[in-house]
Every structure is written in structure tokens, then in C-alpha cells.
């Protein structure tokens, strides 16, 4: 099944998407409220909506919110080798993938308060001059788990959706020189959608570590990159297991695959030169699509002005010489 969250006059509502038609559930039901078990509650609600919908709407006529508007947590991994090698070349010519990448499925926490829908506008981050997209697929956690094995983790994934991890590259590169991780470079927006597609819908396409699904990224209608989801170095089950190591994953948590090969401008800058393709500007439209999961189509808009911080002296400048 495919579940969407859409905006109505009464607020956000959940619906089941079938053949381009949204079948609405009861008002007040959130998608995250239907998670927490083995998927029985979610599928039962979906079947009920298909039999007796509270309203029926064409998908093109609704405003799509993120399927889960404010996830408990968003963990974004980096699992495509081509992306790692391409972006590394920005800093070092002919750079190779670090050996440690093959050992640790590393991730960072993104901002659960900046999630936007599949067709929402995305503002330029304040002070950003090199705005970028990242084409990913994310797994959604269906029930709580802790310290899971990869085999056990499979039962904790309720479904998948398309993810765009918007990136302010110039801010990201500068702040990561402090050896901590991306902060404002990844803080403005993450697109999730258009629908939560339940895991059973993808099983027939399972291949290698993942699924045989074509992924495509376009800017203003021009395709700039394609890949296949099964090129992931690690499986989603491994990512969930690592995320749960020594802690909990909760229903509604988002586990991002990381950017696919040629799924962002930064990789093209690394391979072809920093001026080979321009960064995103206000007015650009970014379309990301994944077979069976659907399409994100977001327009870049002018963002908030940069509010400068107060100037501070270096500590070394403030201390008298001894």
C-alpha cells in the first residue's frame, strides 16, 4: 500500500493512494499513529479506507505534506561508493574512498523540524551561495527496537520513501573544518515523500543489498544523474541495525540511504570541475524520482536574509603576552 499525508481545510489528513486517487482516512488520524506494531494496524486502516473512504480526491488536486511531518529522528547515512569518491575529489584530486568507510556505516542526525512535502517550495539557506540537492531513498521505522541484528531489523522497517537532503555546500564545507559534522549546511530543509510505500510493495524488486529501482535527478527538466538503488554498499537492514546499536529506533524514524551515484551537484563538481554545472538558484525546479516510490518536485525560492553574529576577538588576541 501507499500512504500519503495531505493538507485539507480541516488540517493534515492521511490517505491511501491507489491508481492516482487518494482515499481519505478519518480526520485526526496521523500516519505515525498507525505504526508501532508488525504493520497490522497500518494495513487494516488502509483496507478500511479503500472500502469506505471519508473522501476521495485526485492526487494532482491535493497539497502533499510529508508522509510523517515531524519524525522523531532523521539519521542520514552515506552508502553509495560512487558518491563518496566523487565528492572527495572536490578537496583532493584523484582522491580515493577512505578505508574506514568500508568498515563503519556512518551517519549524521538531520533536522526533524525542517521536513517539507513532495511539491513544497524550498528556501535558499541564509548566506548560501552553493545550494545543492541529494537524491536518496529512506526507510521508515515501523516499530521500536534496540540493539538489533540486521536480520531482526528487517521486521522493523515498515516502508520506504524518496528523500531529498538539501545541502548548503559552502556552509557545510566551512563548518566541517571544525571536525564535528554538518550543521547549518544541512539544516534548512529535507523533502520526504510523496508517499510511504509499504515494504511488501518492493519485495519483488529485491536485488543485492537493496532493490532494483532506477533513480533519477533533474534540474529544470534536464536529467543530471541516474543510478540504481541496489548499488548501495550496505543494506537498509544493516543501517537500521547500526542506528539501533546501544540505543533505540522509534516508529516514524527516518533512515536515509545517503546520496546515490551522480545524485547531487557536488559529485559532478568533484568529477568535472567546480564550475562544470551551476549551483541551484531561486527559480530552479528539482525533480527527483525513484521507480515504485514516486517523484519529488520542489522549486527553489529566495530564503531568509543572513542575520550576522556579533564580531568576536580571537582568544589569543585578547590575552596579554607573558
- Between CA 285 and CA 263 the distance in angstroms is 15
Sign of the torsion formed by the C-alpha atoms of 6, 113, 45 and 238:
positive
Q: Cα–Cα–Cα angle for 253, 118, 235, nearest 5°?
A: 40
Under a CB-based contact definition with an 8 Å cutoff, are residues 160 and 290 in contact? no
Residue 317: its pLDDT value, please? Answer: 58
CB within 8 Å of 61: residues ≥ 6 apart: none
Query: DSSP letter at 310?
Result: P
- The pTM assigned to this predicted structure is 0.95
Residue 10: its pLDDT value, please? Answer: 84
In CATH, which superfamily holds the domain spanning 74-301?
Answer: Fumarylacetoacetase-like, C-terminal domain (3.90.850.10)
Residue 289: its pLDDT value, please? Answer: 98
Longest dimension (CA), the chain: 82
Task: Give tens-digit pLDDT for 182-233.
Answer: 999 999 999 999 999 999 999 999 999 999 999 999 999 999 999 999 999 9
Sign of the torsion formed by the C-alpha atoms of 265, 266, 268 and 272:
positive
Residue 322: its pLDDT value, please? Answer: 47
Question: Range(s) for CATH 3.90.850.10 in the chain?
Answer: 74-301
Residues of the chain with pLDDT under 70: 316-322
Residue 87: its pLDDT value, please? Answer: 92
Residue 27: its pLDDT value, please? Answer: 94
Amino acid at each position: 500500500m501507499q500512504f500519503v499525508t495531505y493538507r485539507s481545510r480541516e488540517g493534515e489528513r492521511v490517505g491511501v493512494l491507489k491508481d492516482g486517487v487518494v482515499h481519505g482516512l478519518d480526520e485526526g488520524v496521523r500516519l505515525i499513529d498507525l505504526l508501532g506494531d508488525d504493520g497490522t494496524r497500518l494495513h487494516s486502516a488502509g483496507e478500511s479506507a479503500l472500502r469506505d473512504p471519508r473522501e476521495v480526491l485526485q492526487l494532482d488536486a491535493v497539497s502533499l505534506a510529508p508522509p510523517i511531518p515531524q519524525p522523531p529522528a532523521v539519521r542520514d547515512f552515506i552508502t553509495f561508493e560512487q558518491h563518496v569518491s566523487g565528492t572527495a575529489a572536490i578537496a583532493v584530486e584523484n582522491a580515493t574512498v577512505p578505508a574506514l568507510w568500508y568498515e563503519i556505516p556512518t551517519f549524521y542526525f538531520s533536522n526533524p523540524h525542517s521536513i517539507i512535502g513532495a511539491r513544497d517550495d524550498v528556501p535558499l539557506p541564509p548566506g548560501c551561495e552553493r545550494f545543492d540537492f541529494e537524491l536518496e531513498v529512506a526507510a521508515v521505522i515501523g516499530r521500536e527496537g534496540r540493539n538489533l541484528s540486521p536480520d531482526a531489523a528487517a521486521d522493523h522497517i515498515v516502508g520506504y520513501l524518496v528523500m531529498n537532503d538539501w545541502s548548503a555546500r559552502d556552509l557545510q564545507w566551512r563548518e566541517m573544518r571544525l571536525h564535528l559534522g554538518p550543521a547549518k549546511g544541512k539544516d534548512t530543509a529535507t523533502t520526504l515523500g510523496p508517499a510511504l510505500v509499504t515494504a511488501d510493495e518492493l519485495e519483488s524488486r529485491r536485488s543485492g543489498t537493496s532493490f532494483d529501482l532506477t533513480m533519477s535527478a533533474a534540474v529544470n527538466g534536464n536529467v543530471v544523474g541516474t543510478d540504481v538503488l541496489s548499488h548501495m554498499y550496505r543494506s537498509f537492514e544493516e543501517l537500521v541495525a547500526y542506528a539501533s546499536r546501544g540505543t533505540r529506533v522509534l516508529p516514524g524514524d527516518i533512515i536515509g540511504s545517503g546520496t546515490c551515484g551522480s545524485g547531487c551537484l557536488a559529485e559532478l563538481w568533484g568529477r568535472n570541475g567546480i564550475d562544470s554545472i551551476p549551483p541551484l538558484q531561486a527559480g530552479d525546479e528539482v525533480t527527483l524520482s525513484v521507480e515504485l516510490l514516486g517523484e519529488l518536485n520542489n522549486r527553489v525560492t529566495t530564503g531568509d536574509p543572513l542575520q550576522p553574529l556579533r564580531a568576536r576577538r580571537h582568544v589569543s588576541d585578547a590575552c596579554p603576552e607573558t
